Chains A and B, each alone.
Chain A
Amino acid sequence: MTHTSDKPEGITDYFASLMADMTPAATGFSAPVVNLNRRSFMQLLGIAGGGLVLGFSLKGPQAQAQEQGALAFNAYLQIRPDGKVIIQAPNPEIGQGVKTSMPMIVAEELDAAWDDVEVVQSPINAAAYGMQFAGGSRSIPQNWDTLRRAGASARAMLVAAAAARWNVPASELITADTAVHHRASGRSAAYGELADAAAKLEAPQTVSFKAVSDYKLLGKRISGVDNLKIVTGQALFGIDQVQDNLAYAVYEKCSATGGKVVSANLEHIKTLKGVKDAFILEGNGKTGELMPGVAIVADSTWAAFKAKKALQVEWDLSAASDESWADIKHQAMQLADRVPATALMESGDVTAAMTASGNKAVEGLYTHHFVAHAPLEPQNTLATWNTDGSIEIWSNTQMPGRAVTAVAGLLGIGEDKVTLHLIRAGGGFGRRLINDPVCEAAAIAQRVKGSVKLQWTREDDTSRDFFRVGGFHAMKGAVDSNGKLVAFEDHLISFTENGDAPVSGGALNQLGFPEGSCKNARLAQTLLPLQIQCGPWRAPGSNTIAWAQQSFLGELAAAAGRDQLEFLLEALAAMPEPNPQATSPAMNKHRAIATVKLAAEKAGWGKTLPAGRGMGVAFYYSHAGHVAQVAEVSVDDNKRISVHQITAVADVGPIVNLSGAEAMMQGSVVDALSTLAGQKITFENGVISPLNFDGYPLLRMNQVPPVEVHFIHSDNPPTGLGEPGIPPLAPAIGNAIFAASGQRPRTMPLSEEGYTLV
C-alpha cells in the first residue's frame, strides 16, 4: 500500500466514473437476454465468468441442491417442474423496493401469476446483469427493456413448446396465470409441465411487449417480497449475517479526515475481556476505501464496542482536515457578490435587467448546511478470508461491482478471488455507494485470516459519513412592470476536494428551469477547497438547488404581487418546447405544467384559509421524474410550524408497483421535511458533530403530516422514484411559510432561523 501524497485521495474521481456509467446513455443495457451463450446457470451462480443460459437443464447433485431441477431460461428466470417461477432480482435493495418491482416486470411479460413467483437476490455478475447498483433512481429505467425481454422471450419459448406438443399454431395460444391455453380445444398446460421442452428451444431473436392497457400485474399494489421475513425478525440484513468461527470487529479512524495513526494503547486493549486482537492498519490513503485506523477484533460486538471506548490513539493531524464551518461561512459571505466572469450559462444581461427602470429587483442569500445520510442500519460488512487466498464478503453495499474491484485492489488479489453476496440494506440514501466499510472488513479479515463482522457504531456512521455538502446560493432576479420574470441569477458557492471538480452533490446542476424561461439569466459557481468528506445524498445537488431556486421563484412572484401558482405556471409555459430528437431524458414543460396543475387542484389551491395559514407550491425535475408538491402550513408568532397537508403529484411514466411508488413519494416527503426542519452536521477543526440521534433529529410520528400522492400515468418511459420526490418539498414548505407569515426562510435547516416543527 502506497501513498502518493500526504493528503488522502477523495472520492471525486470515483464518482466521476460512477456517474458516467450511470447516465441513461451508458446504462442502456438491454441486449444480453436474447443473445445468449450456452453456459450453465450453475456457472453463473459459481461466479465462473459471465454468460446467459438457455435451454440448459440443471443436472447433478449440485444443481439439485440448488434448485430441485429448475430450468433456466435466462439469467433472470428459472421455472421448476412444480410450476414455481424463480426470478432473480439483480439490484441492491435499500428500501426503494426494487427486489419486488424488478421481478414484477419479468412476471408481467411472462404472464406468471405473482403467487407462483419466488424472488431471489441474484449473484453479482456484470456479464449477466450489467452494472448492478442502487443509485440515480436508475434501476427501473435502466432495466425496463431487459426485464421485459427476459419475461417475454421465455413466454414465447413456452408457447412454442406448447404449440409443438399440441401440434397447433402458436398464434392460437394464449398465456395467463403461469400456463399456456388453447381455447379452441380447451387444452391448458402449466409452465412447469412445459419448462423442460421450452428451455431446450432457441430464444427468439425478437419479442413483442405487452401494451400498458394489457398489464395484469404492473400498476397493482404488491407487498414487498421480504415483508414476512421483516415482520417476523428473520436474518435478512447485513448486520444479521453470521459465519462459523465469527469474530466481531470495530475500526477506529481519525475524527478529522486525513489523520494518521502514530500509536495506540494496543497492548492494554489486548488485555481487555473478549478482545482477541488489536492492530493498526495503514490504509491506502483513499477515503472511499481504507484510511488509517485501529482495528479491534473481539468475541462479541459488545466486547469490541467496549474496547473501542478504552482505545487511546495518538493521531498525526498534519494532513488532516482542520476546517470549521464558521470559517467557511465567513469566506463564502465575502464571495457571494463576486460572480465569476466565466458563468456556467449566461443569456441576455442580468445586471442591466436588475437595474432597468420599471423593473423590480430582488436578492436573497440561501444557506444550506451539511447533513448526514443516517441510514438506520449502521455500516457493516462480514468478510471471510479463506486459506486458498480468496475472500468471501456479505455486504449491503449499493455498488457491489465496485466493491469487488476495490477489495481486489486493496488486498492485492484478483477479482476472481473476491465473491460478494449482496445483502438487503437497512437504508442507503447514497451512503452505501461508497465501499469503505467493505474494504475495512476485507482488510481486517485478511489480517486475521478468518471470518470477521465489522460493525460501525452510530457515532462512527455519522462522523465518517460522506456528507451532503453544504453551500450558499446568492440569488438575484427581477420582474418587469407587468409582473413577468425578466432576470434570474444563481451564484452557488460550493466546494472542491481535488481543486478542480465540485465535490459530489456540490455542482450547480442545470435543470434548464427557471433560467430557460426568461431572457436574462446567469448560473455561476465558485468552489472553495474542502477536505471534509462529501458524497451523494438522495437527489444529489437537486435537493438543495431546488430549495434555493424554487423558493426564490416564490420571492419573485411575491415581488410581482402575483399568485405564486399563476407565476410558476407562466414561467413554465415560457420554457422552450421539448426537443423531439433528444436522446437522453430532459424536462418537458407540458409534463411539468400538468403535474403542477393537478397538485394545485388536489390541494385546493386558492381556497380561503384562516389567518396564519398558507399554501406554497414547488416543481422540480430530477432523475427523469417530474414532481410538483403543494404544502399547507400554519406558522405562529413563535415560529412554530404545523404542516397540515402535503399534496404530491409525479409523472414518472407507467407505475410498476403502486404500493411501492406511493411509499417512495410519502417517504421522500417525510425525509425531505425531516432534513429541512432540523438536521445539521457541523465541524470545528475537522471534527464532526453531532454524532447520534439525540443531536440529529429525525422526524418522529407525531410530526408527520398527511401526504396525498397522485401519479399521472403517462406513456413516457418509466423512471425511478427513489429521488425525484425529494427536491420540491423544501421550497414548497418555504413558499408556504411565506404565504402564512410574510417571512421568507432562507436557511436549511429551518431550525437555524428559529423555526420548530410541531
Chain B
Amino acid sequence: MADFTLKINGKPHQISNIEPDTPLLWVLRDTLGLVGTKFGCGVAQCGACTIHLDGSAVRSCSMPVSAAAGMNITTIEGLASDKGELHPLQQAWIDNDVPQCGYCQAGQIMSAAALLASNPQPTDAQIDSAMSGNLCRCGTYHRVRKSIHDVAAKAVSAKTSAPTAG
C-alpha cells in the first residue's frame, strides 16, 4: 500500500493507501469517481480507457497508478475548457451524431485529441494509424473520421480568416 499525488485535469489529488499496481483506470473510476474513462478489455486492446499522460494517449487499464504519479493526467472530464467550453472534437462529435451506444467514444475522442494536438492536419492514413487502437463495436468509424477532418478543416479556416495586425 502506498500514497500518491496525481495531477488530474490540472488539479492535484491525494490518493492514499492504495496498491501500487492498481491500474490508473480503476483509481480514476472507483477512487475518484471520474467514470468517463471506460473499462473494456483490461489488456490495452480496445482503447475505451484512453487518457492523456503528459499529452500522449495511453491506455489507463494497463498503466499502474505508481507510473502515473507526478505526470499530467487528462481525462475526458478535463477536455473541455475550465469555463465549460467544449473541445472542438466534443462539439464535432455532437454535430455529427457520432455515438451509437457511446461507450467507446470517450476513448475515441481522447485518441483524436492527442492526434490533433501533435498533427493538426492529419491525412486519412495518419488518422487510421492514430485511431486503430480504439475499437468501436457499433461501427461509428465513418463519423469518427469525419469529425476529426471537420475539426482539422475548421482550424485551417480559423487560421486563414483570422484578422491580421495593421
- Interaction A to B: yes
Seen from chain A, the residues whose Cβ lies within 8 Å of a Cβ on chain B are 94-97, 221-224, 226-228, 230-237, 239-240, 242, 248, 273-274, 300-303, 305-306, 374-378, 424-429, 455, 457-458, 659-660, 663-664, 666-671, 674, 692-694, 698-702, 704, 706-707
Instruction: Check if B138 sits within 8 Å of A95, measured CB to CB.
Output: yes
Measured between C-beta atoms, what is the minimum distance from B102 to chain A in Å?
A: 4
The digit string for B1-45, where 1 denotes a CB below 8 A from any CB of A, is: 100000000000000000100110010011101111111111101
Instruction: Check if B101 sits within 8 Å of A426, measured CB to CB.
Output: yes
- Residue B62 is within 8 A (CB to CB) of chain A in the complex: no
Instruction: Check if B137 sits within 8 Å of A374, measured CB to CB.
Output: yes
Please classify the interface of chain B as helix (H, G, I), strand (E, B), loop, or mixed, using the class held by over half of its residues. Answer: loop
Q: Which of B127, B137, B142 is A376 in contact with, Cβ under 8 Å?
A: B137
Which residues, 111 to 128 on B, are CB-close (under 8 Å) to A? 127-128
For the complex, give the distance between the alpha carbons of A224 and B103 in Å: 13
Instruction: Check if B137 sits within 8 Å of A424, measured CB to CB.
Output: no
Measured between C-beta atoms, what is the minimum distance from A333 to chain B in Å?
A: 33
Instruction: Check if A232 sits within 8 Å of B86, measured CB to CB.
Output: yes
Residues of B within 8 A of A455 (CB): 39
For the complex, give the distance between the alpha carbons of A659 and B135 in Å: 21
Measured between C-beta atoms, what is the minimum distance from B140 to chain A in Å?
A: 7
Instruction: Check if B139 sits within 8 Å of A669, measured CB to CB.
Output: yes
The 4 closest A-B pairs by CB, nearest first: A233-B36, A670-B139, A426-B103, A95-B101
Instruction: Check if B33 sits within 8 Å of A376, measured CB to CB.
Output: no
- Would A302 and B99 be within 8 Å (CB), given that A232-B90, A693-B45 are in contact? no
Interface size in chain B (residues, C-beta < 8 A): 60
Q: Which chain B residue has the least Cβ–Cβ distance from A246?
A: B30
Instruction: Check if B140 sits within 8 Å of A667, measured CB to CB.
Output: yes
- Residue B58 is within 8 A (CB to CB) of chain A in the complex: no
Measured between C-beta atoms, what is the minimum distance from A91 to chain B in Å?
A: 14
Instruction: Check if B94 sits within 8 Å of A223, measured CB to CB.
Output: yes
Instruction: Check if B43 sits within 8 Å of A694, measured CB to CB.
Output: yes
Q: Which chain B residue has the least Cβ–Cβ distance from A666?
A: B142
- Would A667 and B97 be within 8 Å (CB), given that A226-B102, A701-B145 are in contact? no
Residues of B within 8 A of A97 (CB): 100
Instruction: Check if B39 sits within 8 Å of A239, measured CB to CB.
Output: yes
Task: Jot down 15 A-B pairs with beta carbons below 8 A, ordered by A.
Answer: A223-B94, A227-B97, A239-B38, A300-B30, A302-B26, A376-B101, A376-B104, A426-B101, A663-B138, A670-B136, A692-B41, A699-B139, A700-B132, A701-B128, A706-B142
For the complex, give the distance between the alpha carbons of A261 and B104 in Å: 35
Instruction: Check if A227 sits within 8 Å of B35, measured CB to CB.
Output: no
Residues of B within 8 A of A694 (CB): 43, 45
Instruction: Check if B103 sits within 8 Å of A237, measured CB to CB.
Output: yes
Residues of A within 8 A of B26 (CB): 300-302
Residues of B within 8 A of A96 (CB): 100
Instruction: Check if B97 sits within 8 Å of A660, measured CB to CB.
Output: yes
- Residue B57 is within 8 A (CB to CB) of chain A in the complex: no
- Would A701 and B97 be within 8 Å (CB), given that A302-B26, A426-B102 are in contact? no
Please indicate which of the listed interface residues B1, B30, B77, B131 has the most CB atoms of chain A within 10 Å of its own CB.
B30
